Amino acid sequence: MNPRLTLAASVAGAVIVALDGTVLTIAQPALQRDLGASHAQVQWTSTGYLVAVASLLVFGGRLGDRFGHRRLFAIAMLGFGTASAGIGLASGIGWVIGLRVVQGVFGALLQPATLGMLRAAYPPDRLRTPIAVRTAAIGVAAAAGPLVGGALVAGPGWRAVFLLNVLPTLVFGVPALAARTPQPTTAVRLDLPGALLLAVTLACLVHALVALPDQAPALLVAAVTATLFVRHERRTASPLLPPDIIGTRAVGAALGALVAASAALSGALFVGTYLLQDALALDPMQSALRSLPLAVLMVAAALSCPRLLRRAGARRTTMTALGVLAGGILLLSRASDTFTLCVGFGLLGAGFGAVMVAATHVVVREAAVESAGVAGGLQQTAMNVGPVLGVAAATALMGEGAGLPLTALAALALTGMAAGRALPGRFASIDNEHGHPQDRTPVPARR
């Protein structure tokens, strides 16, 4: 597997998913008018996708471990592109919602595969830079999404937002499908009961958080199925979540940091929209310009993070970055002038970019090659559940001002520092060959 081509494919898959989500937000009002849809129906174009992708990410990663990440990547890219084309040609809102759920299913196959391919293509001591490049590309996509979406909606219309996905999915999906893919060396058994229980748990949890309040039944179902899932995993011979991953202290800490950081960032951006446009009376373009430093510094931090990881280690890098993220949120809670707003958004981007690279590096590196898909699925689950949690918390605390929710979100980012304390320091420069069981347990370098 050519590492450079693998990195290009991984970046393309991650960017397509990131761009699709950001441009949809811009396209929703035009989609609603054109199809005569209600606000609730339009909301389900996002909720249906989110529930599908969040509930299936871990199982999608396990399928990659079983059948090969490149093969799953190809199927997911082509399926995602086909669903996108269907949405672009849809005649009614029902078709759009249904095909968005289909998109979510293929997205759940695609996202872990992009990380699983990197784990298989690069030795552990060279994973930092590919993950940083992938993260930086996601940052660029997130920044470009509103601009691309606005241009497409204002020009050819909202359908072009979805048709945009078709060409790149073909360009990367067809060659990956045609390439000869070696079978995984270790036969991985699929834990279907565990996958079903986890999917129901995550689907109910995400739906309840999105649809708050009055979602006690969904939360109750999530609690019951989560209990059954844990019980099943402890008893089955081939668990969906291998003990050598989920039982690793560093992986749990990294996932906790990712949830805290993504929740704090997404919640802050949700509140920040109202702060900029309501409290400060800025129009959407003025708001976008003031938040632009977020994307710029997120990319810069992601690209600088490999050097930070080599010098300071994952623990110090992640904890410092979470502190920077919290500081940016607190600054926004008191900002009223352009300079302070730009600095606040810039700190958000710098902190989040570094956390995402450092924590993702730990999750992917800790996994053995035969469990890389599950590790990627867990990372992506954290990155999907965190934003839902952050926006739900911000919505619940939104009252007469932005101060209280932003302060609470800053505190949430700081709680991630407690998890960060369990992350490893600097890794040794010499690693075991990937694929050997020992390569998932890093050896901290002596200081």
Most confident of 42-46, 252-256, 291-295, 370-374: 252-256
Tell the residue number behind the tokens 């960032």, with chain if given: 265
Q: What's the pLDDT at 188?
A: 73
| Whole-number Å distance between alpha carbons of 52 and 102 | 8
Q: Whole-angstrom Cα distance, residue 26 to residue 42?
A: 12
Number of Cβ atoms within 10 Å of the Cβ of 62: 24
Q: What is the pLDDT of residue 112?
A: 92
DSSP SS3 for 436: strand
Model pLDDT for residues 399-446, shown as the tens digit of each residue: 766 788 899 999 999 999 988 888 987 654 434 433 344 344 343 443
Listed range (67-81, 181-195, 339-353, 412-426) with the worst mean pLDDT = 181-195
Q: What are phi and psi of 427, to 5 degrees?
A: -80, 155
Q: Count CA atoms within 13 Å of residue 320 on its CB side.
A: 13
What percent of the chain is modeled with pLDDT above 90?
46
Nearest to 17 by CA among 43, 50, 39: 50
Q: Looking at residue 336, what is its pLDDT? A: 80
Q: Please give the residue that has the higher pLDDT: either 21 or 19.
A: 19
Kindly tell me if the per-residue pLDDT of 285 is higher than 80: no
Q: Mean of the pLDDT values across residues 162-178? A: 92
- Burial group, residue 387, by CB count within 10 angstroms (0-12, 13-18, 19+): buried
pLDDT (0 to 100) of residue 244: 75
Q: Hey, what are 391's tokens? A: 């926006």
User: For residues 165-190, b (16+ Cβ closer than 10 Å) or e, as one string?
Assistant: beebbeebbeebeeeebeebeeebee
